[in-house]
Chains A and B, each alone.
Chain A
Amino acid sequence: MSAVGELTQLVSNRNKGGAKEKHPDNKVGLAFMAPWLLGLLGITLIPMVASFALAFTDYSLLAAPEFVGLENIRRMIADTRLHNSLVVTFIYVFVGTPLQLIVALLLAVLLNQGMKGLSFYRSIFYLPSLLGGSVAIAILWRQMFGASGLVNQVAGMFGFHDLPGWVSNPDTALGTIILLHVWTFGSPMIIFLAGLRQIPEMYYEAASVDGASKAAQFFRITIPLLTPIIFFNVVLQVINAFQSFTQAFVVSGGTGGPSDSTMFYTLYLYQKGFTQFDMGYASAMAWLLLIIVAIFTAINFFVSKFWVFYDD
């Protein structure tokens, strides 16, 4: 069962199971769990609380944090660059993720039809998703979509000359980063492929005896039985997409430009916190990000009741 599935079950089962559990391993359990517990406290929980507290302060590392109440929130409401970064991030998440998942699903279904050379194609499609997060690929992207980069050279061969650079045009810069995201569809594709393998062949046999067309089989068998995996992919990819950083940073040279068109929320947060050392404000921004991610994850879980189908 997936992490997402397991969490759903744990949360929904918390009040069930009347029989009292026994805990014979308390001591040895503590020994085994000690590193994780320390990490949870020191690396996660205490910093989380601290970051919440810092969100109400003005702090620059140099002097002690100064309590300013809701000042940071007031600033965020008035900060048009922050609003713009939210818009950019939302476009990236809600265009890039569906595109990436649709491509992943389509190719997984095509690959799953007993093709010869499956493992070869799978490797080719998977490789970019392993390299896509690197600075090297972001550098390549910056060249490819530059004024005289690879893309415009190829366009020139088809008669489109003197096109402007894609990364230097505010209307298209974000598109190139979304394209890079779609290019890394390999990892969700692998998860889809593994899921497709789990669908029992007999369902298709029964459907074809009843005369169901290939299309009907796809929409009535494949998709419904794949919904838990689609759900898993949607949850994780949305969470990851909200936190994308490297590609926008490198493609824009750390500026989020041109004209803030690739200013991702995380990039703006980095600039505030670690180049301007406006750490109170950055903490407030981090908590807004957490709230946004939590809301969308909650929506995903809630809506899943209406479309995710569990076989057993």
Chain B
Amino acid sequence: MTDLQLSTSPTGPSGTASTSAATSSGTRSPLQPKPRPRRTVRRGLRHAVMILASIVMIYPLLWMVVSSLRPNDEIFRNPSLFPISLDFSNYARGWESLAQPFSHYLINSTLLVLGCVIGNLIACSLTAYAFARLRFWGRNIAFAIMLMTLMLPIHVVIVPQYIMFSQTGWVNTMLPLILPKFLATDAFFVFLMVQFIRGIPRELDEAARIDGCGHFRIFFQVILPLMLPALATTTIFTFMWMWNDFFGSLIYLTSPENFTVPLALKSFLDTQGSSDWGAMFAMSVVSLIPLFLVFLFGQRFLIKGFATTGIK
């Protein structure tokens, strides 16, 4: 189809419409040597656009990494990536410049992410199995409600939630952020898993049932092992979202020793004003490294996750 497009263009080498139709069905090279260079030019142009776009997209990130290894005053003088210096003093200074060493906030964030991942894996998979495989009263209505909660702004529940958790004394702990995950409130993952379970052949369930398995055994021994890719996607997305979580953490985690990484960076910005950008960049880079690693090794699942929830 590409060669037809080339040969029917007004200045194309093939001239009449009849020959262009012929070229589309036949092979191009022996009789039609000319389209080749044009095609190469076009292809080259496309790559040039792509490379330019890639540079624009990635340059700020590279520049931040390079700048975090430079002395402070150079950050405001040198927009280029070179010369690359390897001065780690920003990292040493940034690590110690808050009330706690930065590792403390990394551990807090890790605990938060861990709790949320476990909660989402358990609660969302149970719910998804029910939606995908069980026939119970009100299932379609419940499913529609679940899809609607996907679109509900959290702001409309956050004030009463805060009041509720302040009465149970959980404000300034991670419980208000973790507990909802154990109650399958992340509808996105429930939906993702429902989609996945629907794709597993029902014959497998039937076979297990004939062998005398109940729903819990079918779920744990047949479905759960088969839905590992969906569980991996859930793990990765939960990790990414909770590692970045800001609104909820800002509201619930009030004292500095409970701060997660995003809150630590924010308080860094508050205390340093705009003076020590080197240290701030350094800690920002540290905070992005786990995300980057997950991206590097989990990309397959991330993209698949989008594909399965995005389209039919």
Contact = CB atoms under 8 A, between A and B. Distances in A.
B310 A289 contact: no
Contacts of B47: 115-117
Interface in A81-131: 107, 110-111, 113, 115-117, 121-128, 130-131
B190 interface: yes
B24 A209 contact: yes
A25 interface: yes
B152 A44 contact: yes
A290 B156 contact: yes
Contacts of A143: 75, 277, 281
B111 interface: no
A153 interface: yes
A8 to B, nearest CB: 10
B248 to A, nearest CB: 10
Interface stretch (B83-91, B124-132, B227-235): B124-132
Contacts of B180: 39, 43
Max chain B Cβ within 10 angstroms of own Cβ: one of A36, A239, A279: A36
A35 B123 contact: yes
B240 interface: yes
Contacts of A293: 151, 153
B312 A32 contact: no
B8 to A, nearest CB: 7
B116 interface: no
B4 interface: yes
A19 interface: no
A32 B129 contact: yes
Contacts of A24: 135
B5 A279 contact: no
Contacts of A157: 79
A194 B312 CA distance: 10
Interface stretch (B27-35, B96-104, B140-148): B140-148
A194 B136 contact: no
Contacts of A110: 46, 49-50
Contacts of A269: 155
The majority secondary structure among interface residues of chain A is helix
Contacts of A140: 60-61, 64, 281, 284
Contact of A44 (B50, B60, B149): B149
Interface in A18-47: 21-26, 28-30, 32-33, 35-36, 38-40, 42-44, 46-47
Contacts, number: 306
Max chain B Cβ within 10 angstroms of own Cβ: one of A130, A137, A287: A130
B183 A38 contact: yes
B234 to A, nearest CB: 15
Contacts of B156: 48, 51, 286-287, 289-290
Contact of A127 (B46, B58, B77, B309): B58
Interface residues of A, number: 113
A279 to B, nearest CB: 5
A115 B44 CA distance: 10
A139 B269 contact: yes
Given A136-B287, A153-B76, A253-B269, A35 B135 contact: no
A259 B288 CA distance: 31
A33 B270 CA distance: 44
B266 A135 contact: yes
Given A44-B157, A128-B57, A290-B152, A35 B274 contact: no
A47 B150 contact: no
B221 interface: no
B255 to A, nearest CB: 15
B265 A136 contact: yes
A29 B77 contact: no
Interface in B49-74: 49-50, 53-54, 57-58, 60-61, 63-64
A282 B251 CA distance: 14
A72 interface: no
> 9 tightest A-B contacts by CB?
A39-B183, A29-B136, A136-B284, A32-B130, A50-B160, A153-B79, A47-B160, A191-B310, A47-B157
26 contacts: A3-B191, A6-B147, A10-B140, A25-B135, A29-B139, A32-B127, A43-B183, A54-B160, A121-B53, A123-B295, A130-B240, A130-B291, A134-B288, A135-B265, A136-B284, A140-B284, A150-B79, A208-B4, A208-B24, A209-B21, A211-B17, A213-B5, A245-B246, A250-B269, A274-B162, A286-B156
Given A33-B126, A153-B77, A266-B247, 20 more contacts: A2-B310, A5-B312, A14-B140, A28-B136, A40-B149, A44-B157, A47-B159, A111-B50, A115-B46, A130-B240, A135-B261, A135-B284, A150-B79, A194-B307, A211-B20, A213-B5, A236-B151, A239-B153, A290-B152, A290-B155
